[in-house]
């Protein structure tokens, strides 16, 4: 397919992808991979740009994975626009787009799942949130895609910090040869983290949503001077002023997702999930190791 500023090859079957990957193995070209569920935005574009800058051949997958949705309505309501996605892929210099049907990735009799214990029962994996089943769906499809694409580097966004931590642990534990690269969050001018879900916000909801980065900034400010517990309470106060109660607002380490009690600890973040206008938004604000400075903007 030729679109935008270049030519993008689109494959829709596992068999075709395996043939292309086998050809690449006979070369010394490095492969970068960006797995997505489509409806691309500038955050995805930053992942693709990083892959393009660092690798010889860039693969983008577009697959709305049914295994990571707990509610059928959420799956049905997930925004889709493949034509626009392919245009963005072309603009970013993607070489290959893999966009399979669910029946091809999960054929009849598919009975395997991949689960990362410990990191998936907190934050978005807690019983009060999406639950560990969500991440089981994520790790299963990512493991499958990594096996099929066999990339040298796979790129994930910092906005989905828990997902990045879970995938990183899975890759280490299962000895995938792929390196996981985490790219900083891309934000709108008012600070809202870019997300495909933002498209589901009404105009009023979009205006309210800016409370998410404001609350995180306030939480960070207080956490660095008075400690994480005080920072979390300050952030919750910002939400309450808007009539919102976050699903969670916590201080966690970036890699192990361990609770943080002292602001002086290295590599931690403030992470939040909150429903705004009927849309569940997640975000986080990392703190640079040993500096006490925000690293999320």
- Active-site amino acid positions: 44
Q: What is the four-CA torsion angle of 217, 222, 227, 229, rounded to 10 degrees?
A: -70
* Cβ burial 223-248 (10 Å sphere, 16+ → b, else e): bbeebbeebbebbbebbeebebebbb
CA dist list (Å): 141 to 36, 112, 144, 185: 11, 10, 5, 23
| Contacts of residue 22, Cβ cutoff 8 Å, sequence gap at least 6 | none
User: What tokens were used for 62?
Assistant: 């577009």
- The C-alpha atoms of residue 284 and residue 141 are separated, in whole angstroms, by 24
| Contacts of residue 287, Cβ cutoff 8 Å, sequence gap at least 6 | 220, 224, 263, 267, 268, 269, 270, 293, 294, 295
CA dist list (Å): 61 to 108, 224, 232: 22, 39, 36
User: What tokens were used for 16?
Assistant: 């075709």
| Contacts of residue 74, Cβ cutoff 8 Å, sequence gap at least 6 | none
Q: What is the four-CA torsion angle of 269, 257, 70, 60, rounded to 10 degrees?
A: 70
* Cβ burial 47-62 (10 Å sphere, 16+ → b, else e): bbbbbbeebebbbbbb
């Amino acid at each position: 397919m030729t679109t935008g500023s270049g030519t993008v090859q689109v494959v829709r079957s596992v068999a075709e992808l395996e043939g292309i990957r086998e050809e690449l193995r006979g070369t010394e070209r490095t492969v970068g991979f960006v797995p997505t569920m489509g409806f691309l935005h500038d955050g995805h574009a930053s992942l693709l740009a990083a892959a393009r800058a660092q690798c010889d051949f860039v693969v983008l997958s577009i697959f709305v994975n049914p295994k990571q949705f707990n509610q059928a309505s959420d799956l049905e309501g997930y925004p889709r626009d493949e034509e626009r996605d392919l245009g963005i892929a072309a603009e970013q210099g993607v070489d290959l787009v893999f966009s399979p049907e669910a029946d091809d990735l999960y054929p009849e009799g598919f009975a395997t799942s991949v689960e990362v214990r410990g990191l998936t029962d907190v934050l978005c994996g807690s019983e009060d949130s999406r639950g560990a089943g969500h991440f089981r769906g994520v790790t299963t499809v990512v493991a499958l895609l990594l096996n099929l694409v066999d990339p040298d580097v796979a790129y994930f966004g910092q906005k989905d910090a828990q997902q990045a931590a879970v995938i990183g642990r899975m890759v280490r534990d299962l000895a995938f040869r792929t390196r996981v690269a985490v790219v900083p969050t891309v934000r709108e001018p008012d600070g809202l983290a870019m997300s495909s879900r933002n498209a589901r916000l009404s105009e009023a909801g979009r205006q309210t949503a800016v409370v998410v980065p404001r609350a995180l900034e306030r939480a960070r400010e207080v956490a660095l001077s008075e400690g994480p517990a005080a920072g979390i309470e300050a952030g919750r106060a910002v939400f309450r002023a808007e009539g919102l109660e976050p699903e969670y607002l916590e201080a966690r380490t970036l890699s192990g997702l361990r609770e943080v009690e002292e602001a002086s600890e290295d590599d931690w973040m403030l992470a939040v999930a909150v429903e705004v206008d009927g849309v569940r938004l997640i975000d986080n604000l990392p703190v640079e190791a040993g500096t006490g400075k925000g690293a999320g903007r």
